[in-house]
């Protein structure tokens, strides 16, 4: 298992067990093939698909063969819900189980984060592990572009890019 965690600084960075998914996510964010949106992982507006960085990750996981059901609810026919549990704002277990391992089986997972944070991983915003934010916060609150989020991914899990 890759372990990029610096627990001495209490960064709450989860170790990644699937570097290929991390690199695929990084590449997809830089590809220019996704239109960035906020508020949910994926939505449709006037014929255009908008995604936050987590929605891009879900689509990359699906392209890599991970079976993730998608659905829309009658309340909001524009938002796409991912996974058996139908999440619109946090990663479904189908993705986190492959990216980080099953939370129930992870050694000392509670040292990194609680269950909700497991579904929205922390990433390093700046060099030197000095400031972290969740992926959704980078996308929605901090207004990071996909290019900036890709840089955060590479800073957070550098070993994925050398594997």
DSSP string across 78-106: TB-EETTTTBSSS--HHHHHHHT--TTTS
Q: For residue 114, tell me if it sits in a domain.
A: yes
Q: Which pLDDT score is estimated for 13? A: 65
Low-confidence ranges of the chain (pLDDT < 70): 1-14, 74-77, 102-118, 127-130, 163
Count of structural domains within the chain: 1
What is the predicted pLDDT for the residue at 77?
64
In a domain, 1, yes or no: no
> What's the domain range around 79?
7-161
Q: Tell me what pLDDT residue 118 has.
A: 56
Tell me, what's the pLDDT at 97? Answer: 86
Count of beta carbons in the 10 Å neighbourhood of residue 53: 26
As to burial, measured by CB atoms within 10 angstroms (0-12 exposed, 13-18 middle, 19+ buried), residue 131 is exposed
Query: What local confidence, expressed as pLDDT, does residue 75 receive?
Result: 66
pTM value surpassing 0.85: no
HSE-CB for 92 with a 13 A CA cutoff: 25
- Give the pLDDT score at 128: 60
Within a domain: 136? yes
Q: Does residue 2 sit within a domain?
A: no
Looking from the CA of 104 toward its CB, the CA atoms found within 13 Å total: 1
Give the contacts of 4 (CB within 8 A, at least 6 positions apart).
13, 15, 16, 156, 157, 158, 159
CB atoms within 10 A of CB 30: 15
């Amino acid at each position: 298992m890759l372990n990029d965690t610096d627990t001495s600084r209490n960064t709450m960075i989860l170790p990644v067990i699937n570097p290929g998914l991390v690199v695929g996510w990084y590449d997809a964010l830089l590809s220019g093939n996704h239109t960035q949106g906020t508020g949910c992982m994926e939505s449709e507006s006037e014929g255009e698909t908008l995604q936050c960085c987590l929605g891009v990750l879900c689509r990359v996981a699906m392209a890599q063969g991970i079976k993730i059901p998608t659905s829309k609810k009658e309340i909001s026919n524009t938002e796409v819900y991912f996974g058996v549990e139908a999440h619109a704002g946090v990663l479904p277990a189908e993705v986190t189980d492959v990216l980080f391992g099953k939370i129930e089986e992870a050694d000392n997972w509670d040292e990194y984060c609680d269950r909700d944070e497991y579904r929205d991983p922390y990433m390093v915003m700046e060099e030197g592990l000095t400031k972290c934010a969740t992926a959704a916060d980078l996308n929605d609150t901090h207004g990071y572009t996909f290019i900036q989020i890709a840089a955060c991914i590479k800073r957070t899990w550098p070993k994925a890019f050398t594997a």
